[in-house]
Chains A and B, each alone.
Chain A
């Protein structure tokens, strides 16, 4: 079954074609990666998946529904970590997790989520006093308090230290193990190779390559996803 179907998605800001005819599908339980240069249209695409942006053209279906029309109903089943977002400066970590827990009908136990993401030492710390990586970890945890079927992670490990990064990989692996569909945007090829079943390479609002990391590497006749990416980028430019 397809958890996500995007067909010929287009979104323009003034004269900028942010997303210019993007098509892909993500199977239920799959971990799907979006990579590509800054401004390639990754964030715009994932924001259309969670209903924060309305496409100019094309169709988007997530769990069989149109996010632009059914944002609130779908949000019960989708967890999102946005590239840019924050919480009130003075809210405490435990408070934020408990409050977000009340937004969801079923939801995971917020205490368990706090523990799983090693946030309990920070439970009484205010959001404004957290380090960048600690904030990132909290935002990731908040994406999961609703016990979602689909998780969208925009710049999963940006700002995390190497240990927290590996720890996050392990937790994303756990999501895969319980059958959660994951869409993740990343600028790191090691991460993409380690976590993603399939990858879409974005360039200038289009998908220039898609497939398993091995496929993409083989098709470009290169030795790694990173080299494949450079080959694709060079060819496209």
Chain B
């Protein structure tokens, strides 16, 4: 436990030392909120966007580089399992996403006078499931794509269309019909829905169940396909 705490704390510090992660998970969503003149309806979507940027935009490249640069191998020569490093990366991504999201929500409420979230407990559950879900997809990408550049690139290529089509960056009602239908099949869509429902106070359980199902399936796939070397 002591080892895992140290690993997770270190991974979180490393994320905060990365200017790209810092910008896209903290400053960028705030800038979008300002551009939207503080429209609080956009906040749950932006929260989904923040975690997607971390879990799919950053995580695959980080994990692939740990494998390629033999960081995982070095850990395998210590008493801890390299699986713990992957767990620590997950915890760090969730924590960084939480920091960015809290910053965004606090700014929306204090600066733009948005109403406080309707159901804080459900919002927390939705946040946790959504952020673990995008990380599990990130692990699948890192498992399938061998090298660092490839994993980063594929992560971005999956993440960008998804945040638009799932209604995270723009509301799905603004999309043409055909594009909206694609969104029905994207794993981030139930994440945006769950966050939006909890934000407005009409908590629905169905999207949460879907998120949990995706986490289980993606983790199984990642575990089956992951190569340590």
A contacts, CB < 8 Å to B: 50, 52, 71-73, 75-76, 78, 80, 82, 84-88, 90-91, 95, 98-100, 102-105, 139, 142, 146
Answer whether residue B181 sits at the interface, using C-beta atoms and an 8 A cutoff. no
Interface string of B15-44 (1 = CB under 8 A from A): 001100000000000000000000000000
Determine the chain B residues whose CB is within 8 A of the CB of A73 once the complex forms.
Answer: 79
Contact call A98/B77, Cβ cutoff below 8 A: no
Q: How far is the CA of A80 from the CA of B14 in the complex (A)?
A: 24
Tell me if B2 and A102 are in contact (CB < 8 A).
yes
Of B5, B14, B76, B78, the contact of A100 (CB 8 Å cutoff): B78
**A50: which of B5, B66, B69, B77 is its contact (CB, 8 Å)?**
B77
Whether the Cβ atoms of A103 and B74 lie closer than 8 Å is no
For residue B13, CB closer than 8 A to chain A, the reply is: yes
Partner of A75, one of B6, B17, B79: B79
**Which of A76, A84, A98 is close to B70, meaning CB atoms less than 8 Å apart?**
A84
A69 to chain B, nearest CB (A): 15
Query: In the assembled complex, how far is the CB of residue A120 from the closest CB belonging to chain B, in whole angstroms?
Result: 19
Contact A99/B79 with A82-B70, A86-B70, A86-B74 known, Cβ cut-off 8 Å: no
Q: Contact at A99–B10, with CB atoms within 8 Å?
A: yes
Are A90 and B79 in contact, with the CB atoms below 8 A?
A: no
A104 lies within 8 A of B79 (CB): yes
Is B99 located at the chain interface by the 8 A CB criterion?
A: no
- Bound Cα distance from A86 to B73, whole angstroms: 9
Q: Are A146 and B78 in contact (CB under 8 A)?
A: yes
Residues in B with CB closer than 8 Å to A75 are 77-79
Q: Which of A85, A86, A99 contacts B7 (CB 8 A)?
A: A99
Q: Which of A82, A84, A103, A142 touches B3 (beta carbons < 8 Å)?
A: A103
Contact of A90 among B14, B69, B78 (CB under 8 A): B14
- A91, B74: Cα distance in complex, Å: 14
| Cα separation A143 to B78 with both chains bound (whole Å) | 9
**What are 27 contact pairs spanning A and B, CB under 8 A?**
A50-B77, A52-B77, A72-B79, A75-B77, A80-B77, A82-B73, A82-B74, A84-B70, A85-B70, A85-B73, A86-B69, A87-B74, A88-B66, A90-B14, A90-B17, A91-B14, A98-B6, A99-B6, A99-B7, A99-B10, A102-B2, A102-B6, A103-B3, A103-B78, A104-B79, A105-B79, A146-B78
Instruction: Specify which of B3, B7, B76 lies most central, judged by the most chain A CB atoms within 10 Å of its CB.
Output: B76
B74 touches A85 (CB 8 A): yes
Sample of 9 more A-B contacts, CB < 8 Å, known A85-B73, A103-B78: A72-B79, A75-B77, A82-B73, A86-B70, A91-B10, A91-B14, A99-B6, A104-B78, A146-B78
When C-beta atoms are compared, the residue in chain A nearest to B68 turns out to be A86
Q: How far is the CA of A139 from the CA of B25 in the complex (A)?
A: 33
Is residue B80 contacting chain A, with contact meaning CB distance below 8 A? yes
Min C-beta distance of B86 to chain A, whole Å: 13
Find the residue from B10, B69, B73, B74 having the highest chain A CB count within 10 A: B74
Q: Which residue of the partner chain B has the closest CB to A76? A: B79
CB under 8 Å from chain A, chain B span 53-93: 66, 69-71, 73-74, 76-81
